[in-house]
Amino acid sequence: DFERFRRRVERATWMVPRLRHRVQPGPVALAPPLWVDDPDFDLDYHVRHLALPAPGSMRQLCDLATRIAADPFERTRPLWAFIAVDGLEGGRGALIQKMHHTITDGEGGVRLSLEYLDFERDAPEPPPIDPAELPEPEPVQHVSSGGAVRDMLAGSLRIPIGFARQLSNLATDPGRLPEASAAAAETVRGVVTQLSDTEKARSPLWTARSLRRRLETIRAPFDTTKASAKRLGGSLNTAFLTIAADGAGRYHRELGAPVDELRASMVISTRTAESGANAFTLARLLVPTGAMSIAERFTAIQESAGTARSSAGSASLATLATVAATLPTSLVTRLARQQGETVDFATSNVRGSPTPCYIAGAKLLENYPIGPLAGVAFNLTLLSYAGSLDMGLHLDPAAVTDADLLRTCIEDAVTAFVAVGKRRKR
């Protein structure tokens, strides 16, 4: 029921004010952009309805989703869109949700979805919201160039200005590290650790990059995957990394280019009760991809992941952004490109609903995330849902020249890992 869905999203835009905000650039590029109310907000621009041509295959849907994800946002409007898609085979439909990362991270996106998801098919609609009863929106903020630097360091990131000033001083003069506060020194050490990692990615195959994109989907059973991880003495997140590494290794061996290790990145949540829209950091680690037993690979990755989490803990997203704001844009761009070249593939694991959900009367069957590439060969992101682990394999076809083979290799890795848990049940 598209009109019912539209009403729910409209209500969400009042419950989550960021969905009605647009970006206003800072003055003379001295300050970060500001969030301001969009006086010309048009819900129909953001909530759209279309249909796939026959036959309405999953391949057509995935291709449509990657094109929508790759299109840049219109910066004069709020940075999100929901596209309802009819015409899938078997009488099914789809919802493509596109949201800029400045609005929220993966976990926050799951929480936001509660505004339009139900736990029963014919759940009563929540009462409508009368905008006249809501507080007046904040007026557009005007920042003078004289105060831009101060706001750049403190205002938008909610970091105390004295602490931010120490970060800025240390970024430009590391020799002052001994006289800095313990917190500032530890933060800068974490940032330096992140940015000083310039070791190149290891794959002999995944060397080219392009602007082309392809999405493949993979599913794994939740219970038996978790049972396998428990039997091996670790977590579901380690299981996911083990499957990704195993699949990547199988791919290289199938193409006659075996490799013992690859460099991977993983997202680490830093969410707390006081967290903002984005609460995560990134960790990089070497994962074993040579031929070995599942138990050996799992143990090695669990140790490597633990070390990576410890080293990445002091370099949060907000801290990196604060330090980056003190540097020239050209340098930040060069550093970002350089950091992308240190990773072969990226991973992320987001926890979703353990029970079935409904969207405007339709049962949600599968739920695939599309993680950002940011210069890597592929991103494998997992979203747990209703007894399943739904994985979106988002890849660059210039790097991964045989997408079908990589999907098959990861599926084979899932089968092998799940078998560990099944053997235990017998």
Bridge pairing between strands 378-385 and 345-350: parallel
Could you read off the pLDDT tens digit of each residue along the chain, which spans 426 residues? 999 999 999 999 998 888 999 998 876 555 667 889 999 999 999 999 999 999 999 999 999 999 999 999 998 999 999 999 999 999 999 999 999 888 876 666 777 888 899 999 999 999 888 887 777 755 555 545 445 445 544 444 444 445 455 555 555 555 554 555 555 555 555 555 555 556 789 999 999 999 999 999 999 999 999 999 999 999 999 999 999 999 999 999 999 999 999 999 987 765 555 555 555 567 889 999 999 999 999 999 999 888 777 665 555 555 566 556 555 566 566 666 666 678 999 999 988 899 999 999 999 999 999 999 988 999 999 999 999 999 999 999 999 999 999 999 999 999 999 999 776 554
> Measured between alpha carbons, how far is 313 from 320 in angstroms, rounded to an integer?
12
Element (H, E) at 339: helix 329-340
Q: Residue 243: CB partners within 8 Å, gap ≥ 6?
A: 220, 410, 413, 414, 417
User: Residue 17: which of 115, 98, 95 has the closest Cα?
Assistant: 115
* 416 half-sphere exposure, CB direction, 13 A CA radius: 21
> CB pairs under 8 A, 24+ apart, for 302-310?
302/233, 302/234, 302/238, 305/237, 305/238, 305/241, 305/266, 308/266, 308/283, 308/284, 309/268, 309/283
Element (H, E) at 213: none
CB–CB of 89/57 below 8 Å?
Answer: yes
DSSP 114-142: GGT-BSSTTPPPPPP--GGGSPPPPPPP-
Amino acid at site 330:
S
User: Residue 171: which of 329, 337, 325, 338 has the closest Cα?
Assistant: 325
> Measured between alpha carbons, how far is 296 from 319 in angstroms, rounded to an integer?
36
